[in-house]
Amino acid sequence: RERESRNARFYFHLLCTPRAAIAVHNAPEGLAVAIPVFFATKSKWKAFWFGTLSGLAEPAAGGIGWAILAATSADDINEVTYAILFSLVSGMMVYICFRELLPTATGYDPKDKYMSKALFLGMLVMAVSLMLFKAQ
The 10 Å CB-count burial string (b at 16+, else e) for 110-125 is eeeeebeeeeeeeeee
DSSP conformational letter for 73:
-
Residue 25: its pLDDT value, please? 73
The tens digit of pLDDT for each residue in 66-113 reads 887 777 766 667 778 778 888 998 899 899 989 998 999 999 999 999
